[in-house]
Chains A and B, each alone.
Chain A
Amino acid sequence: MKKLMLGNEAIARGAYEAGVRVVSSYPGTPSTEITEFASKYDEMYSEWAPNEKVAVETASGAAIAGGRAVSAMKHVGLNVAADPLFTMSYIGVNAGLVLCVADDPGMHSSQNEQDSRNYALASKIPMMEPADSSECKDFMKKAFELSEKYDTPILMRLTTRVAHSQSLVELEDRVEIPVKPYEKDIPKHVMVPAFAKQKHPKVEARMQALAEEAATADFNKVIMRGTDIGIITAGISYQYTEEALPDASILKLGMVWPLPEKLIRDFASKVKKCYVIEELDPFLEKQIKAMGIEVIGKDILPLEGEYTAAMLKDKILGIAPKEMASADEPVPVRPPVMCPGCSHRGVFYVLSKLGLHVSGDIGCYSLGSAAPLFAMDSIICMGASISAAHGMEKAAGRDFAKKTVAVLGDSTFIHSGITGLIDVVYNKGTSTVIILDNSITGMTGHQQNPSTGFTIKGEPTRQVDLVKLAEAVGVDRVTVVDPFDVEKFEKVVKEEIAADEPSVIIAQRPCALLKKAGYTGTYRINPEKCKNCKICMKLGCPAISITENGPVINETLCVGCGLCPNVCKFGAIEKVN
């Protein structure tokens, strides 16, 4: 049976068919659906971990104990998990271990455009890269074979256009693989210097052996057509190549590290001109050039963003794209915005009004940096809001700290904000931290997390109590407040930034997209009472726009959250039904 599947769903299906027992991940676009789909198979234990490091360690433990395991993350998640990654390369596995990492060329939903293939090189771990959903499934199964054969974790690299594209996949049955016997083996599993020194040469030998297998393996494919142009490519770039250059010969690499030198040399010798087509870094190109093989790559193709077939036709064949019809005038951009009813809007309205420095973080609330709120000064990475605010205080002084808050979500706080908070308390900082507790991990599409009280399967579980947690690390000033009670929220923020000790404000209100938000009806602006002061426009709500006769509420967008009547000084905003 063939099924139309998202690349991420096919990865989960591959794990299922390969007899995987444990999946542990932290959500991150474009990787999230791998674990969501995995959790639908009852034969595999699946979980959301607090962060990617914990997830990879959990999967590593599972593999050491003898059960096939998977962890999936976005590219920047692999930075968080880099510590266990490098050492698991030495330890190897018992049962197979596959770590899926999804890069985001073009940064559809990311803060940088890093190329995770560099991690394969640096950590000496083989990396496979599928080009469609069918390969996603097949490569997962192959990866488990290789992992166990060569005693190594395997990295499975995806990019957005593979992870988030659907194509047809042939479904097969799951192979039940019993948990392998566990043996206490200190030199293999304990990476102290004496044992690690014994391991390192084995790692080098394993990569050598893998490179030899890669020369004849069926995951690397040679498609010989003409001899004028040869293309070496992998992943989604292969699809663009097929689209743009149907007459070219192609060496399609299914494993992007280690590389099959003989196969590459052989292919390059058969064509007059050889190109390397790869998005982001010249990863393959540099390695191939180091083999002394002449190839053309980044000299003509960009280092940034996604490629297109039209771009390849232009750069390689010199066929410029045709001029197409376009709009007669500039079309206003439509950037993403906080949803109507978003629980974060009250917070950023107040922060914007008070003109504070806001040390921000990763999540839906990153949108607080956009017009008209402009209420976020910096965003670095998951959890950095608190530690960066602490650094700001240490550099710029106490007066600066009195005008500064750190803002992050509940899931981000658990991920790596808590360690920053400990730093503040331990090192005598006075930062004010606002945790936006909306009862869910929002931006990645509603995943449960340790503070929601539910597991990935929706089963009730012990809930991390954010108040007790903050108190336990030594914060004496902890306040829970509804950010839609704008007056009270403003008062609390003013008090806490003035305090000479660290404080935590938990802004509690569910995400508007959750049923439990319970919003009904809509609001309208009564033109009789409206004085056209436009204060409601400062909320940046997509449901309120300005007309010649003053602001109006778009009833198809309004969810009835009730924030705007709380800022209107004239009682002009009234509930409809």
Chain B
Amino acid sequence: MNIMIVGVGGQGTLLASRILGAAAQNIGMDVKLSEVHGMSQRGGSVVTYVRYGEKIASPIIEEGGADLILAFEQLEAYRYISYLKEGGTYIVNTQKTDPMPVICGTAKYPEEILEKIAAKGIDVIACDALALAKEAGNQKATNVALIGVLAKHSTIEKEDWMKALNSTVPPKFLEANLKAFELGYNHE
């Protein structure tokens, strides 16, 4: 299983990938994750890869290789279409964050991104995860709300996800994050 998490540095993609990695380990799979640290974390476009299966060699997912992409932001979803396998699933947070070229007025934020992705015959699951996180009491739990949506569409049992959340989320934030996970899990 090859899952990519794409978003904007600072959105919590790293924790999301670690929860996913822990859940995959809980079902006894070989797991590899590739993370992004340093300069590109500062508000740039970030990608983390999570792969699990019998035996995994490369930690990287290449074009056409992702079974599922979890996008934390619409423009980032648009950027990585070529990485999705034929028949793969796209989970997209409907949040939009303008990149600097758009802020400076040298580029335009594309319109109707979700429709354009769906028009390619890609299965798109859209979710306003920020609203779910706010409902859970902490807007920073957007990442975990999205993990909830992902969990619903995964082959990993819910109890393995709960174990993963308990082992990766700092106790201080656990309550709001568990709530956000539930809201994501039950999202239609």
Contacts and interface: CB of A to CB of B under 8 A. Distances in A.
A556 B93 CA distance: 14
A535 to B, nearest CB: 14
Interface string A242-285: 11000000000000000000000000000000000000000000
Given A166-B21, A331-B78, A309 B36 contact: no
B98 to A, nearest CB: 5
A479 interface: no
Contacts of A166: 18, 21, 31-35, 59
Contacts of B83: 324
B32 A325 contact: no
A174 B122 CA distance: 51
Given A310-B62, A326-B82, A545-B98, A4 B105 contact: no
A330 B83 CA distance: 16
B105 A239 contact: no
A557 B97 contact: yes
Given A239-B57, A557-B97, A325 B38 contact: no
A542 B31 contact: no
A408 interface: no
Interface stretch (A137-145, A182-190, A336-344, A397-405): A336-344
B109 to A, nearest CB: 7
A167 interface: yes
A165 interface: yes
B42 A30 contact: no
B103 A108 contact: no
Nearest to B103: A545
A332 B45 contact: no
Contacts of B39: 29, 108-109, 336, 366, 443
Given A166-B21, A239-B58, A327-B116, A161 B42 contact: no
Best-surrounded residue of A167, A243, A540 (most CB of chain B within 10 A): A167
Contacts of B38: 29-30, 108-109, 443-445
Given A239-B58, A243-B58, A339-B42, A332 B25 contact: no
B106 A371 contact: yes
Contact of A372 (B64, B97, B104): B104
A33 B35 CA distance: 12
Given A165-B35, A167-B31, A557-B97, A537 B63 contact: no
B44 A4 contact: no
Contact of B43 (A336, A372, A537): A336
Contacts of B63: 310, 321, 324
Contact of A367 (B42, B105, B106): B42
A379 interface: no
Interface in A424-472: 443-445
B58 A337 contact: no
Interface string A353-371: 0000000000010110011
Nearest to A164: B35
A333 B25 contact: no
Contacts of A165: 32-35, 59
B84 interface: yes
B8 A334 contact: yes
A321 B64 contact: yes
Nearest to A32: B37
A396 B123 CA distance: 61
Contacts of A242: 57-58
Contacts of A366: 39
Given A331-B110, A556-B130, A445 B103 contact: no
12 contacts: A4-B22, A30-B37, A324-B63, A332-B110, A334-B76, A337-B42, A443-B38, A542-B97, A542-B98, A542-B100, A545-B98, A545-B103
The 5 lowest CB-CB distance pairs between A and B, nearest first, are A109-B38, A29-B38, A336-B44, A334-B99, A165-B59
Given A327-B116, A336-B41, A336-B43, 14 more contacts: A4-B31, A109-B39, A164-B36, A166-B34, A243-B58, A308-B60, A325-B84, A325-B122, A332-B110, A334-B79, A334-B99, A335-B99, A336-B39, A371-B100
